Structure 1
Amino acid sequence: MSKRRKDKVKMEHSLLEGLEKHLRIISSFESVKSIIPGRISRQNRGRGSKGIFLKYRTSTGFKLLYKTGTSTQEVFVVCTDSEAFERQFREVYKYEV
Protein backbone atom coordinates (compact mmCIF):
# COMPACT_ATOMS: atom_id res chain seq x y z
CA MET A 1 0.00 0.00 0.00
CA SER A 2 1.34 3.41 -0.84
CA LYS A 3 1.64 6.09 1.78
CA ARG A 4 -0.93 8.86 1.71
CA ARG A 5 -2.05 11.58 4.09
CA LYS A 6 -5.60 12.42 5.11
CA ASP A 7 -5.39 15.65 7.14
CA LYS A 8 -3.13 14.82 10.11
CA VAL A 9 -3.42 11.04 9.54
CA LYS A 10 -0.61 9.34 7.61
CA MET A 11 -2.16 6.28 6.00
CA GLU A 12 0.35 3.45 5.60
CA HIS A 13 -1.86 0.62 6.83
CA SER A 14 -5.53 -0.20 6.66
CA LEU A 15 -7.72 0.70 9.62
CA LEU A 16 -9.79 -1.53 11.84
CA GLU A 17 -13.50 -0.87 11.62
CA GLY A 18 -14.49 2.00 13.90
CA LEU A 19 -10.99 3.48 14.28
CA GLU A 20 -11.47 6.30 11.77
CA LYS A 21 -14.06 7.96 14.05
CA HIS A 22 -11.50 8.09 16.89
CA LEU A 23 -8.77 9.40 14.57
CA ARG A 24 -11.02 12.28 13.51
CA ILE A 25 -11.61 13.20 17.18
CA ILE A 26 -7.92 12.94 18.10
CA SER A 27 -6.78 14.85 15.01
CA SER A 28 -8.93 17.79 16.16
CA PHE A 29 -6.75 18.18 19.29
CA GLU A 30 -4.64 21.31 18.90
CA SER A 31 -1.51 19.59 20.25
CA VAL A 32 -1.62 16.80 17.62
CA LYS A 33 0.83 17.26 14.78
CA SER A 34 0.47 13.86 13.08
CA ILE A 35 -1.18 10.44 13.54
CA ILE A 36 0.33 7.24 12.17
CA PRO A 37 -1.84 4.09 12.34
CA GLY A 38 0.38 1.03 12.76
CA ARG A 39 0.19 -2.71 12.52
CA ILE A 40 -2.86 -4.80 13.25
CA SER A 41 -2.66 -7.97 15.30
CA ARG A 42 -5.38 -10.56 15.75
CA GLN A 43 -6.40 -11.77 19.19
CA ASN A 44 -7.38 -15.42 19.56
CA ARG A 45 -9.37 -14.89 22.73
CA GLY A 46 -11.96 -12.53 21.27
CA ARG A 47 -12.50 -10.95 24.67
CA GLY A 48 -11.17 -8.08 26.66
CA SER A 49 -11.61 -4.35 26.71
CA LYS A 50 -12.72 -2.51 23.57
CA GLY A 51 -11.96 1.07 22.56
CA ILE A 52 -8.94 3.31 22.24
CA PHE A 53 -6.36 3.42 25.03
CA LEU A 54 -3.17 5.32 25.90
CA LYS A 55 -0.39 2.75 26.04
CA TYR A 56 2.74 4.79 26.76
CA ARG A 57 4.55 8.04 26.03
CA THR A 58 7.14 8.05 23.22
CA SER A 59 9.88 10.57 22.48
CA THR A 60 7.53 12.36 20.05
CA GLY A 61 4.12 11.78 21.64
CA PHE A 62 2.16 8.64 22.49
CA LYS A 63 1.45 5.10 21.43
CA LEU A 64 -2.24 4.25 21.55
CA LEU A 65 -3.98 0.90 21.11
CA TYR A 66 -7.36 0.50 19.44
CA LYS A 67 -9.02 -2.76 20.49
CA THR A 68 -12.10 -4.37 18.95
CA GLY A 69 -12.12 -7.52 21.07
CA THR A 70 -10.77 -9.70 18.26
CA SER A 71 -8.07 -7.36 16.89
CA THR A 72 -5.73 -4.62 18.09
CA GLN A 73 -4.18 -1.78 16.08
CA GLU A 74 -1.29 0.41 17.15
CA VAL A 75 -1.66 4.16 16.64
CA PHE A 76 1.24 6.59 17.05
CA VAL A 77 0.47 10.23 17.81
CA VAL A 78 3.07 12.98 17.29
CA CYS A 79 2.36 15.92 19.63
CA THR A 80 3.65 19.43 20.10
CA ASP A 81 2.62 19.27 23.78
CA SER A 82 2.38 15.77 25.31
CA GLU A 83 0.85 16.95 28.58
CA ALA A 84 -1.91 18.86 26.77
CA PHE A 85 -2.61 15.83 24.56
CA GLU A 86 -2.81 13.44 27.52
CA ARG A 87 -5.09 15.81 29.44
CA GLN A 88 -7.44 16.24 26.48
CA PHE A 89 -7.41 12.52 25.64
CA ARG A 90 -8.37 11.58 29.20
CA GLU A 91 -11.07 14.26 29.24
CA VAL A 92 -12.64 13.02 26.00
CA TYR A 93 -12.29 9.28 26.69
CA LYS A 94 -12.78 9.44 30.50
CA TYR A 95 -10.84 6.38 31.55
CA GLU A 96 -7.40 5.46 32.79
CA VAL A 97 -4.75 3.37 31.07
Structure 2
Amino acid sequence: MEIEAIAHGTGVIVDAIDKGASFAIDLKVKAMARLLEDEKGIKARDKMARDIAKGVLKFFGYEYGLEIETESEIPPDNGFGEKEATAVATALSVLGVLA
Protein backbone atom coordinates (compact mmCIF):
# COMPACT_ATOMS: atom_id res chain seq x y z
CA MET A 1 0.00 0.00 0.00
CA GLU A 2 1.15 3.53 -0.75
CA ILE A 3 -0.22 6.82 0.61
CA GLU A 4 0.68 10.40 -0.29
CA ALA A 5 0.05 13.36 2.02
CA ILE A 6 0.55 17.09 1.52
CA ALA A 7 1.19 19.90 4.03
CA HIS A 8 1.55 23.59 3.21
CA GLY A 9 4.16 25.99 4.49
CA THR A 10 3.39 29.02 6.63
CA GLY A 11 4.53 32.59 6.88
CA VAL A 12 4.55 34.57 10.10
CA ILE A 13 4.29 38.30 10.68
CA VAL A 14 5.61 39.35 14.07
CA ASP A 15 4.96 42.76 15.51
CA ALA A 16 6.84 44.75 18.17
CA ILE A 17 3.76 44.91 20.43
CA ASP A 18 3.68 41.14 20.93
CA LYS A 19 0.94 40.45 18.42
CA GLY A 20 1.53 38.41 15.35
CA ALA A 21 -0.20 36.49 12.64
CA SER A 22 0.54 33.43 10.57
CA PHE A 23 -0.77 32.50 7.17
CA ALA A 24 -0.57 29.57 4.77
CA ILE A 25 1.52 29.93 1.65
CA ASP A 26 1.02 28.17 -1.66
CA LEU A 27 4.15 26.06 -1.31
CA LYS A 28 3.88 22.50 -0.12
CA VAL A 29 5.70 19.40 1.00
CA LYS A 30 4.59 16.04 -0.35
CA ALA A 31 5.37 12.86 1.58
CA MET A 32 4.75 9.35 0.30
CA ALA A 33 4.81 6.31 2.59
CA ARG A 34 4.92 2.76 1.25
CA LEU A 35 4.63 -0.40 3.36
CA LEU A 36 7.41 -2.90 2.72
CA GLU A 37 5.88 -6.36 3.06
CA ASP A 38 8.86 -8.52 4.02
CA GLU A 39 11.21 -5.94 5.50
CA LYS A 40 11.69 -4.12 8.76
CA GLY A 41 13.15 -0.69 9.25
CA ILE A 42 12.56 2.64 7.58
CA LYS A 43 14.12 3.71 4.30
CA ALA A 44 14.22 7.49 3.86
CA ARG A 45 16.76 9.98 2.52
CA ASP A 46 15.52 12.70 4.89
CA LYS A 47 16.60 12.03 8.50
CA MET A 48 13.73 14.01 9.98
CA ALA A 49 11.16 12.08 7.91
CA ARG A 50 12.76 8.82 9.08
CA ASP A 51 12.61 9.96 12.73
CA ILE A 52 8.95 11.04 12.40
CA ALA A 53 7.98 7.71 10.79
CA LYS A 54 9.86 5.80 13.48
CA GLY A 55 8.02 7.74 16.20
CA VAL A 56 4.59 7.09 14.66
CA LEU A 57 5.31 3.35 14.34
CA LYS A 58 6.61 3.20 17.91
CA PHE A 59 3.58 5.07 19.26
CA PHE A 60 1.22 2.48 17.76
CA GLY A 61 3.48 -0.48 18.54
CA TYR A 62 4.11 -1.52 14.93
CA GLU A 63 7.34 -2.86 13.48
CA TYR A 64 6.54 -2.67 9.77
CA GLY A 65 9.05 -1.81 7.11
CA LEU A 66 8.43 1.55 5.45
CA GLU A 67 9.83 3.56 2.60
CA ILE A 68 9.37 7.33 2.90
CA GLU A 69 9.92 9.85 0.10
CA THR A 70 9.55 13.59 0.56
CA GLU A 71 9.46 16.36 -2.00
CA SER A 72 9.45 20.02 -0.97
CA GLU A 73 8.57 23.19 -2.87
CA ILE A 74 9.52 25.23 0.21
CA PRO A 75 13.09 26.54 0.24
CA PRO A 76 14.88 25.28 3.36
CA ASP A 77 15.85 27.54 6.26
CA ASN A 78 13.86 30.59 5.16
CA GLY A 79 11.20 30.73 7.88
CA PHE A 80 8.32 29.35 5.80
CA GLY A 81 7.81 26.22 7.90
CA GLU A 82 9.56 23.67 5.68
CA LYS A 83 10.48 21.41 8.60
CA GLU A 84 7.04 21.63 10.16
CA ALA A 85 5.34 20.84 6.85
CA THR A 86 7.69 17.88 6.31
CA ALA A 87 6.86 16.53 9.76
CA VAL A 88 3.10 16.88 9.23
CA ALA A 89 3.08 15.38 5.72
CA THR A 90 5.29 12.47 6.83
CA ALA A 91 3.16 11.68 9.89
CA LEU A 92 -0.06 11.82 7.83
CA SER A 93 1.32 9.53 5.12
CA VAL A 94 2.51 6.97 7.70
CA LEU A 95 -0.85 7.08 9.49
CA GLY A 96 -2.53 6.57 6.12
CA VAL A 97 -0.66 3.36 5.34
CA LEU A 98 -1.37 2.04 8.83
CA ALA A 99 -5.11 2.68 8.54
Bigger Rg over Cα: 2
Shorter-chain TM band: 0.3 to 0.5
Higher relative contact order (CA 8 A, sep 6+): 2
**TM-score (norm: length of structure 1):** 0.35
Structure with greater helix share of residues: 2
Using the size of structure 2 for normalisation, the TM-score is 0.34
